[in-house]
């Protein structure tokens, strides 16, 4: 329900009767001399439960505060609290229970508790909602709540953070609920703004947010993953692989900016760039297994929480990259690593003994006998030199959360890619999500909070766990990743596994509203091309480009699926060229000089660019519902239909059918159609026939009348 709001006019003398009414009406309410009164609600599964409220205000003393049971099954209690932050839990039939209506999950006294931030009721408050852009206006809702002394708001201003200009919004004192504000559509692709309300005593309340004016939703995103040290050198110059592949290669932020200016990402229809961590990393070398040494070229070995890695560039370079990207309609998402720090980080030096970390990382390396993955995931360390943050320690959790969100406050990034989400309690990613939205993007739907929840095949419930209204806005679709590789790259799985993974995923987390990031490769696994080529597994080798023509067909097929399925595709740098790589660090070799690419690689790049442009053009391929028409071991036929635009696309993929297939077609896919990739035309009726010799074929059929038939 909308929040009611009230502001009395300046200097209005209330008749005594009204004043008395005011007082009487407020006895249950939220102001008190000492602090602000907070109300707590719980609806236990059974109204007969015994329920008490315990909290940090008295060190969780039990028995806690008794709650009043209501006839509708809710239990409620209120308590005066000091401004700031507190922890509490409901004890239901002796079991500690978090407040499921609140996002922040923590642990205290070894028990699950909720953290709630308490706004200062003695100060005015302001919140933003539903920031959106349509063809006519930039719109958002503002809710004003006056301070508890009843002082009214007298001014409401919106400041454009790009130009510094401010506009004032008229306040109508008779208005109740959320104020709907409409501003002319800004000319910049990305509009960042601050809304400030001022009350009659001159006290202010402010909120920041931003919106993209192109109207893209998450489903419209097309992504690209950049490992800056391995992308391009100063001015966009090509890099060479270091002799030791796990040392720095010399890539810089200016290299990324140069490729932005060159239009490299535009050719791939990219609107979302994932930059792997930019934070200062160690320059020393550490054991990476198999007798090899490596350094922090990848960004995951932070020695600072705020500094930009000098090897990559300066803060000014970050701002320039963001400006250039934003001007081209490209959002930039920053990789952050809240799970651990490097042993050279001052936090480890200063806090190794006070509970910020899960002890000596060498004593509990993930996957060791002492700390198996299954039982130690949240407390084990990736390696002996990467201390693992203890998110159950409030001081550590608060500091790392603030550090992480501070990157969004200092730079206009468009989101975060959060590393190693399941290595932390869920409360960690939730705390970052909540603070990020609160701080820079209240009410905005354009802040991408993309978590890395690395799973094996089929772990749908695992992903669901981190999504939802309090959770990440998206995660990587690992089950689909494994299915894509099985179907098209190593050809060990059924083609039906691909659409099964999409359907199972939709079933598992569909009600979260999240659109997941789909991908066929990343920096942690063997390169797609090397899986398709059946290269070896020597992770320090630099295998050559594929020589087997079948490999290139497999790659083309994989990308057809990736760019036509639901979700938003995230391409790992170099995969569009069929760059080989057999694990870490081989899969992180430098992006080759385009002049050195073999013809097959350039062909593949053109194929991926065509697919990306097609997806950017076709609403059906981005937003359409998936309709599986045939799914078997060796063939896959599916449609995408967008009811809003009435657009349809039909996708056919085969491996080795060995028998003629007859696939009945709904009318929406029939008529005069064009195979966008091969340029052939056909008239489809109520059935699609796939010949038995259709080995590794693909087709994307659009109506001949579609504007997207010549991408």
Partner 1 sequence: MHRSLIRSFLPALPFALALAACGDSTVNRRDDGVPPTPPSYDPGLGGSGGAYGSGSSVGNPSTGIDAGPPVPVCPDDYKGCTQTITYPYGGETSVEVRGSFGGDSTWQQGVAMQRNGSQWEATIIVPYDRPALMKFVVNGTEWRVDSTKPTQTDASGNVNNLLAPVTCTTFVCTEPAPPPAGVFDWRDAVIYFAFVDRFVDGNPANNCSVNGVSGAIADYQGGDWAGIAQKIDAGYFNDLGVNTLWLTVPLDNTAERGQGVGGDTKYYSGYHGYWPKVDSSDPAALQPESCFGTLDELKGVVTKAHAKGLQVLFDYAMVHAHQSSAMVTQHRDWFWPNDNGRGGNCICGQGCSWDTVPDRERCWFTDYLPHWNYTNSAARTYGVTNAIEWAKQTGIDGFRLDAIKHVDASWLTELRARVQAEVVPRQSPAQRFYMVGETFDFGNRDAIRAYVDPATKLDGQFDFPARRHIVEGLIMRTMRLSDMVAFLDGNESFYGPQAVMSTFIGNHDLPRIIHLAANSRMWGDNQYADGKDRAWQSPPVTAPAEREAYERVANGFALLATTKGAPLVYYGDEVGLAGAGDPDNRRFMTWSGLAPNQAWLRARVSKLFAIRAAHPAMRRGTRQTVALGNDTWLFRVSSAGDNVYVAINRGDVDATITGLPSTALRELVEGTAQQSTQVLVPARQVRIFAAP
Please report, as residue ranges, which positions from 152 to 191 form the binding site for partner 1 (by CB under 8 A): 154-155, 167-174, 176
* Residue from the set 453, 555, 570, 673 that interacts with partner 1 by CB under 8 A: 453
Instruction: Indicate whether 3 belongs to the interface with partner 1 (CB under 8 A).
Output: yes
* Minimum separation from the CB atom of position 229 to partner 1 (A): 17
Of 61, 66, 82, 93, which one interacts with partner 1 (CB under 8 A)? Answer: 93
Contacts to partner 1 from residues 573-612, by CB under 8 A: 583-584, 586-587
Binding characters for partner 1, 523-552, by CB under 8 A (x = yes): -xxxx--xx-----x-x-------------
# residues contacting partner 1 (CB under 8 A) = 120
Q: Is 553 in the site for partner 1 (CB under 8 A)?
A: no
Q: 641 pairs with which residues across the strands?
A: 625, 648
Q: How many CA atoms lie within 13 A of 187 on its CB side?
A: 2
> Which CB atom, from 259 or from 419, has the smaller least distance to partner 1?
419
Torsion of CA 461, 462, 464, 465, to 10 degrees: 120
The strand pairing partners of 140, in sequence order, are 181
Position 679 contacts partner 1 (CB under 8 A): no
CB of 388 to partner 1, least distance (A): 12
In the bound complex, what is the minimum distance in angstroms from residue 31's beta carbon to partner 1?
5
CB of 582 to partner 1, least distance (A): 8
At a CB cut-off of 8 Å and minimum separation 6, what does 620 contact? 640, 641, 642, 645, 647, 648, 649, 702
Q: Is 342 in the site for partner 1 (CB under 8 A)?
A: no
Q: Rounded to the nearest whole angstrom, what is the least distance from the CB of residue 57 to partner 1 in the complex?
A: 16
Residue 518 binds partner 1, judged by CB under 8 A: no
For the chain, the 3-state helix, strand and coil shares in percent, each to the nearest 5, are 25, 30, 45
80 binds partner 1 (CB under 8 A): no
At residue 596, φ and ψ (nearest 5 deg) are: -95, 0
- Residue from 53, 87, 98, 146 that binds partner 1 (CB under 8 A)? 146
**By CB under 8 A, residue 57 contacts partner 1:** no
| CA 463/CA 525 separation, integer angstroms | 19
| Angle, in degrees to the nearest 10, between helices 253-262 and 315-327 | 20
Which C-beta is closer to partner 1: that of 233 or that of 451? 451
Shortest approach of partner 1 to residue 174 CB, angstroms?
7
34 part of the interface to partner 1, by CB under 8 A: no
Closer residue to partner 1 in complex, CB, 518/618: 518
Is 69 an interacting residue with respect to partner 1 (CB under 8 A)? no
By CB under 8 A, name the one of 107, 147, 441, 498 that touches partner 1.
Answer: 147
CB of 472 to partner 1, least distance (A): 10
Q: Does residue 96 bind partner 1 (CB under 8 A)? A: no
Q: What is the Cα Rg of the chain in Å?
A: 28
The reply to whether 468 sits near partner 1 by the rule CB under 8 A is yes
Query: CB of residue 105 vs partner 1: minimum separation in angstroms?
Result: 10
CA 264 to chain centroid, in Å, comes to 23
Provide, rounded to whole angstroms, the least separation between the CB of residue 696 and partner 1.
20
- Extract the tokens encoding 251: 């890539």
Q: Catalogue the E-assigned strands of 36-98.
A: 36-42, 51-55, 65-66, 68-69, 75-81, 84-92, 95-97
Binding mask 362-381 for partner 1 (x = CB under 8 A): ----xx-xx-xxxx-x----
- Coil, helix or strand at residue 141: strand
Q: How far apart are the first and last CA of the chain?
A: 46
How near is the Cβ of 291 to partner 1 at its closest, in Å? 15
Q: Quick one: which segment of 7-15, 222-230, 498-506, 669-677 binds partner 1 (CB under 8 A)?
A: 7-15
* DSSP assignment string, 471-533: S-SEEB-HHHHHHHIIIIIS--S-THHHHHHHHHHHHHHGGGT--PEE-S--TTS--HHHHHH
Of the ranges 146-154, 396-404, 571-579, 590-598, which one interacts with partner 1 (CB under 8 A)?
Answer: 146-154
Is 206 one of the binding residues for partner 1 (CB under 8 A)? no
Write each residue from 427 to 446 as x if it is in contact with partner 1 (CB under 8 A), else as -, in one continuous string.
Answer: --------------------
Taking the C-alpha atoms of residue 82 and residue 63, their distance in angstroms, rounded to an integer, is: 21
Please tell me whether residue 419 binds partner 1 under the rule CB under 8 A.
yes
The single residue among 57, 69, 76, 399 that binds partner 1, judged by CB under 8 A, is 76
Under rule CB under 8 A, residue 259 binds partner 1: no
Rounded CA-CA distance 182/161 in Å is 17
Dihedral, 142, 148, 149, 152 alpha carbons, nearest 10 = 10
Q: Is 701 in the site for partner 1 (CB under 8 A)?
A: no
Specify whether the CB–CB gap between 640 and 621 falls below 8 A. Answer: yes
- For residue 631, state whether it binds partner 1 (rule: CB under 8 A): no
* Whether the Cβ atoms of residue 231 and residue 274 lie closer than 8 Å to each other: no
CB of 435 or CB of 485, closer to partner 1: 485
The single residue among 208, 435, 485, 615 that binds partner 1, judged by CB under 8 A, is: 485
Give the C-alpha separation, 401 to 361, whole Å.
21
- Footprint (CB under 8 A) of partner 1, residues 279-318: 300
Q: Residue 376 or 654: which CB sits closer to partner 1?
A: 376
Q: What is the DSSP string of 396-407?
A: HHHHHHHHHHHH
**Cis peptide bond upstream of 63, omega within 30:** yes
Q: Pick the stretch among 8-16, 571-579, 627-635, 638-646 that binds partner 1 (CB under 8 A).
A: 8-16
Residue 31 found at the interface with partner 1 (CB under 8 A): yes
Residue 71 interacts with partner 1 (CB under 8 A): yes or no: no
Q: Which of 193, 348, 382, 391 forms a contact with partner 1 (CB under 8 A)?
A: 382
Segment 318-321 long-range contacts (CB within 8 Å, at least 24 positions apart): 318/253, 318/278, 318/411, 319/411, 320/253, 320/254, 320/257, 321/253, 321/254, 321/256, 321/257, 321/260
Q: Regarding beta strands 68-69 and 125-133, do their DSSP bridges make them parallel or antiparallel, or are they unpaired?
A: unpaired
- CA 27 to CA 207: how far, in whole Å? 30
Stretch that binds partner 1, among 261-269, 327-335, 459-467, 549-557 (CB under 8 A): 459-467
């Amino acid at each position: 329900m909308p929040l009611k709001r009230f502001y009395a006019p300046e200097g209005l003398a209330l008749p005594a009767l009204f004043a008395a009414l005011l007082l009487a009406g407020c006895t249950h309410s939220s102001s008190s001399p000492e602090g602000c009164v907070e109300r707590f609600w719980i609806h236990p599964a059974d109204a007969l439960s015994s329920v008490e409220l315990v909290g940090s205000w008295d060190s969780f003393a039990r028995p806690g505060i008794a709650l009043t049971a209501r006839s509708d099954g809710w239990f409620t209690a209120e308590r005066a609290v000091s401004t700031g932050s507190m922890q509490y839990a409901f004890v239901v039939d002796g079991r500690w229970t978090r407040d499921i209506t609140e996002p922040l999950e923590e642990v205290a006294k070894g028990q699950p508790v909720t953290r709630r931030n308490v706004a200062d009721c003695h100060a005015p408050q302001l919140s933003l909602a539903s920031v959106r852009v349509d063809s006519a206006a930039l719109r958002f809702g503002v809710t004003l709540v006056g301070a508890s002394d009843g002082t009214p708001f007298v001014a409401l201003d919106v400041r454009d953070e790009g130009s510094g200009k401010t506009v004032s919004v008229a306040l109508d004192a008779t208005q109740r609920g959320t104020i709907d504000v409409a501003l002319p559509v800004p000319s910049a692709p990305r509009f960042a703004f601050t809304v400030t309300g001022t009350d009659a005593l001159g006290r202010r309340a402010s909120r920041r947010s931003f919106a993209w004016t192109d109207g893209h939703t998450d489903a419209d995103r097309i992504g690209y993953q950049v490992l800056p040290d391995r992308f391009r050198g100063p001015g966009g110059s090509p890099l060479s692989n270091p002799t030791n592949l796990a040392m720095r290669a010399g890539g810089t932020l200016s290299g990324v900016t140069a490729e932005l200016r060159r239009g490299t990402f535009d050719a791939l229809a990219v609107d979302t760039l994932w930059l792997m961590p930019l934070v200062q990393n160690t320059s020393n070398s550490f054991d990476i297994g198999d007798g090899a040494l490596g350094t922090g070229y990848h960004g995951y070995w932070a020695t600072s929480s705020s500094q930009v890695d000098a090897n990559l560039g300066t803060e000014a370079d970050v701002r320039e990259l963001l400006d250039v990207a934003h001007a081209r309609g490209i959002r930039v998402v920053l990789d952050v690593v809240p799970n651990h720090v490097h042993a050279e980080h001052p936090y480890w030096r200063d806090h190794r003994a006070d509970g910020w970390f899960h002890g000596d990382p060498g004593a509990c390396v993930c996957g060791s006998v002492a700390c198996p993955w299954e039982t130690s995931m949240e407390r084990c360390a990736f390696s002996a030199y990467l201390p693992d943050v203890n998110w159950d320690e409030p001081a550590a959790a608060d500091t790392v959360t603030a550090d992480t969100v501070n990157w969004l406050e200092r730079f206009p990034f468009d989101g975060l890619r959060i590393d190693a989400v399941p290595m932390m309690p869920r409360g960690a990613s939730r705390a970052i999500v909540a603070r990020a939205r609160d701080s820079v993007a209240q009410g905005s739907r354009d802040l991408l909070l993309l978590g890395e929840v690395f799973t094996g095949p089929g772990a749908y419930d695992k992903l669901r766990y981190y999504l939802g209204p309090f959770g990440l806005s998206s995660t990587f679709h690992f089950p689909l990743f494994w299915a894509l590789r099985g179907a098209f790259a190593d050809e060990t799985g059924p083609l039906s596994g691909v659409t099964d993974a999409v359907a199972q995923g939709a079933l598992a987390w569909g009600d979260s509203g999240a659109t997941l990031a789909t991908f066929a490769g990343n920096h942690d696994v063997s390169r797609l091309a090397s899986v398709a080529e059946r290269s070896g597994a020597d992770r320090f080798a630099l295998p050559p480009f594929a020589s087997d023509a079948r490999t290139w067909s497999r790659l083309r097929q994989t990308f057809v699926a990736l760019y036509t399925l639901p979700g938003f595709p995230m391409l790992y740098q170099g995969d569009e060229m069929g760059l080989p790589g057999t694990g870490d660090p081989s899969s992180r070799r430098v992006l080759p000089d385009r002049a050195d690419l073999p013809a097959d690689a350039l062909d593949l790049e053109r194929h991926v660019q065509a697919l990306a442009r097609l997806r950017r053009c076709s609403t059906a391929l981005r937003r359409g519902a998936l309709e599986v028409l045939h799914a078997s071991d060796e063939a896959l036929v599916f449609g995408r239909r967008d009811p809003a635009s009435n657009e349809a696309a039909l996708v056919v993929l085969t491996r080795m059918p060995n028998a003629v297939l007859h696939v009945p077609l709904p009318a929406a896919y029939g008529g005069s159609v064009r195979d966008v990739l091969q340029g052939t035309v056909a008239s489809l009726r109520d059935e699609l026939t796939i010949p038995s010799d259709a080995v590794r074929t693909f087709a994307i059929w659009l109506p001949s009348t579609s504007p997207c038939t010549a991408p």
